[in-house]
Structure 1
Amino acid sequence: MQKLYVAMVGLPARGKSTLAKRIRDGLMTEGIAARLFNNGDMRRALIGAESTDPNFYDPNNKVGREAREMICMRNMDQARDWLAHEGEVAILDATNVSRARRHLIETTLTDHPVLFVECVNEDQLLLNACIRRKTTLPEYASYTEEEALASFMKRISYYETIYDPLQDEKYWLRVDSTANRLLDERPCESSPYYPAIREMVVSVWIQCLYLARHGQTEFNLRGRIGGDPPLTATGRAQALALATHLRDKPIEWVFTSTRIRSHETATPLLSERPDAHAMAFKEFDEIWAGDCEGMLYSEIRERMPEVTQGRNASKYTYAYPHGESYAMLRERVQRGLRRALFLAGDAPLIIVGHQAINRVLLSLFLRQRNEDVPFMYIPQNQYYHISLTPRRKVFERVPYDDRQGASLLER
């Protein structure tokens, strides 16, 4: 039976390793023997701290260049040996950004086809976040944060001088790794694994996502919309109860809006997870009510009856004066979700959102009619758990006892 090499391509911090792992995991779920061969892991094991110096990646550094080529050749040898025995798909996880390196791979691995998969990411916010995350790796333990950042940026600059996008190679896929979107391809139609891999690179993968709404605020109690109010005592109890309920759940990323109530709800979650990453996205800010921000619903009915009439006629498409509609939210919420999923990779994450935001987020996973989205049930004492892969789909609403949070606050 024909076997396959998959060689990743792309500048650092573009999502190559995350996608490589998804391809491996997806193939293994199908009963296909797949394995990763990561150049970075071998580099750290064989060379150690010396290879953290950015000058190791200077194309004009003969010693560094030869060391990198040695690692590449050794990984290819191991991949070839594995395919010669029990393996079916060997995945070479490395930058492979130069045509010379890819030519070396194609001319060395001639026993089976080579499929190149290039990851592209032009979202500057995500790139900055990914680069900062890279600087927390153990190999930068002796660096200050700014030293590590400068070192990694210089490493990237060296790769940029030799980077050539895929073009002349025999088989390849180019993928927008943030949007899970295929940009271009030269299909490897002879490989029985190609259709499955092609599907995997464009599929949304969510291993474990928790979606929670912020706790109660004074605006919630009074019927005011928008604003930036803090949590009430009940809201703080709900936040504490949520954190207690999820205490034993592994959560590595916590995403919030930029609003106070979202931050305060996430604070107890983060206090129990000092190593968790936290980021606030404006994409997750509550729907903007424009001229109606901070108003009571009763005030809107009395002073701006045309707003009430417009929303009653079509709550999904009606936009507040100088504000937003649910339809307008979709693009920014979808962008926020893509960013959150890209940063988290396959790690468990939670989004602490708002009522309208969570409605739109849920509608991205459910086949919900647009006109029904503004009426989806988003309680403040329950959360949603979502797992979504090509072979597994889990969607559940889970209640938690917010009275437990009140008792903890009283202690």
Structure 2
Amino acid sequence: MFTRVHQYSTNEQVRVPNVIALVGLPARGKTYISYKLCRYLNWIGIKTRAFNVGEYRRQACDFEKEGKADFFDHSNERAVRIRDECAKHAMEDMGRYLDSKKGEVAVFDATNTTRPRRKMLLDFCNREDHETKFRLFFIESVCDDPDIIDSNITEVKVNSPDYKGRMTEEQAKQDFLQRIEKYSAQYAPLCEEKDAELSFIKVINAGRSFFVHNVNGHVQSRVVYFLMNIHLLPRSIYLTRHGESEYNKIGRLGGDSPLSENGVCYAHKLRKYFEKENIQDLRIWCSQKIRVAQTANHLKDLAAHVEYWKVLDEIDAGICEGLTYEDFEARYPKQFSERDKDKYHYRYPSGESYEDLVARLEPVIMELERQSNVLVISHQATIRCILAYFDNKKREELPYLNVPLHTVIKLTPKAYSCQIEMFKFKIDAVDTYRAKPTEELPWELNGTESNLCRSP
């Protein structure tokens, strides 16, 4: 009865901290979902952190004695007690994170396969000692496709901290299969009838279908929207700015100027690069600016589709369009100083901020998550925003990512990272990068798999 009253009361509130809890057997992609979800929510400005119960377990017990499959047997009372304590510690840390206002969303990454464990989570979110009670949403990853499960075990789990360096791949795989059997014996899936008052989404076979139940609030809606668009098919995403423009040569902001002679040369070289790449069903997405359209025109016949998106246009500099940085500083010294203090949130008068640009580009990110091979031809600020999403960059880093002219950035999304390669073309171009004040060097890409810069 208490839970029911709380459900209605939190439904009426707007700004409520959210707990997103994963549910599902091992090797169903829960940590992958957790990683992607944290990256997305942080990128759109919702402060989010994941709490992985497996990490707490690894700190609490010795793998050699406790970490193998028998540790996950429901009849092993000592192990059950340890695992429950680890879950409680993770919940307490999660509660402190949300109560302190350091974050708005906490992702509880664990199997949560039993109703008692999910009841423990629900009771925790309803606790009276929280400053504000937490809204709870479950994501259950359901998978019976043996190919997906086998791929997940082979590519991810055998490299987990539980196994890497401790046993052979075959030993790790066999132990992990036994672990899945232990969890399967007690698994109680979420049910529309038995769990009628809970909010949840079932992601079935890596997103082939979904079941959504009782979604409450803005955050849960955004989570559902995101989950229904992601996939992990092999693909590459290519990002490049247009070729050097006439405005680039004289250092002017924005505008709609055509390509310079060097810019036209880059467009020709870009075509040769993609002829060598020989990508099947390549899609090209462009902004609607002249310099981008001219760059894309040289590649039209190599693409299955070419689309011109206004949302890919450069950041709107408002009253500063067409000015040089020197003009900007001389005419609007206070505005110039404000921008240097907080470039991410600074909004040009009658124009946009990087924060506005991220909101504008969200549909592009969703489509990039859904599509196969895509080349995006756009502008410095827009590519910074896209790159920051895939490279998991913080807001304060985003406006200072170095995206030079005449360079192709190739992104290859992986399960828990993104391989980043940079190909610099040997064609002269002005340097449009403006470093962060007091910073000697530009922010560098993580390139979690690699950070390569080479000539094609």
TM-score (norm 1): 0.53
- Conserved in 2, the CA contact under 8 Å of 1:173 and 1:182? no
In the alignment, is residue 103 of structure 1 matched against residue 125 of structure 2? no
What do residues 72-116 of structure 1 show as CA deviations (whole Å, max 9, x unaligned)? 111111111111112211110001111121111112221212100
What do residues 118-161 of structure 1 show as CA deviations (whole Å, max 9, x unaligned)? 01222212211211231233432221222211111110000000
Deviation at 1:207, TM superposition (A): 11
Q: Which runs of structure 2 are paired with 1:173-184 in the superposition (5 Å)?
A: 173-176=201-204, 178=206, 180-184=207-211
Compare relative contact order (CA 8 Å, sep 6+) and give the higher one, 1 or 2.
1
- Conserved in 2, the CA contact under 8 Å of 1:9 and 1:118? yes
Deviation at 1:177, TM superposition (A): 5.2
Q: Which residue matches 1:200?
A: 226
Q: Which runs of structure 2 are paired with 1:12-411 in the superposition (5 Å)?
A: 12-49=26-63, 50-86=65-101, 87-110=103-126, 111-133=133-155, 134-140=157-163, 141-167=165-191, 168-169=194-195, 170-176=198-204, 178=206, 180-189=207-216, 191-204=217-230, 209-210=235-236, 358-360=279-281, 362=282, 377=302, 389-390=365-366, 395-396=375-376
- Higher mean alpha-carbon deviation, 81-90 vs 201-210, is at 201-210
Deviation at 1:24, TM superposition (A): 1.2
More helix by share: 1
Alignment partner of 2:94: what SS? helix
- Conserved in 2, the CA contact under 8 Å of 1:181 and 1:202? no
- Conserved in 2, the CA contact under 8 Å of 1:359 and 1:376? no
Q: Percent identity?
A: 24
Deviation at 1:188, TM superposition (A): 2.6
Deviation at 1:62, TM superposition (A): 0.4
What do residues 323-375 of structure 1 show as CA deviations (whole Å, max 9, x unaligned)? xxxxxxxxxxxxxxxxxxxxxxxxxxxxx9xx7xx534x36999xxxxxxxx9
Q: Which residue matches 1:384?
A: none
Q: For residues 285 and 119 of structure 2, what CA distance do their matches in structure 1 show?
A: 41
Q: Which residue matches 2:307?
A: none
TM-score (norm 2): 0.48
What do residues 204-258 of structure 1 show as CA deviations (whole Å, max 9, x unaligned)? 367994389xxxxxxxxxxxxxxxxxxxxxxxxxxxxxxxx9xxxxxxxxxxxxx
Q: For residues 365 and 233 of structure 2, what CA distance do their matches in structure 1 show?
A: 7
* 1:77 partner amino acid: E
Structure 2, unaligned stretches of length 5 or more? 1-14, 127-132, 239-272, 287-299, 305-361, 378-407, 410-422, 425-456
Pair 1:145–1:359, CA change in 2 (3 A)? closer
Deviation at 1:47, TM superposition (A): 1.5
Compute the RMSD of aligned alpha carbons: 3.5
Q: For residues 90 and 15 of structure 1, what CA distance do their matches in structure 2 show?
A: 18
Deviation at 1:165, TM superposition (A): 1.1
- Conserved in 2, the CA contact under 8 Å of 1:206 and 1:389? no
Alignment partner of 1:203: what SS? coil
Equivalent residue pairs, number = 243
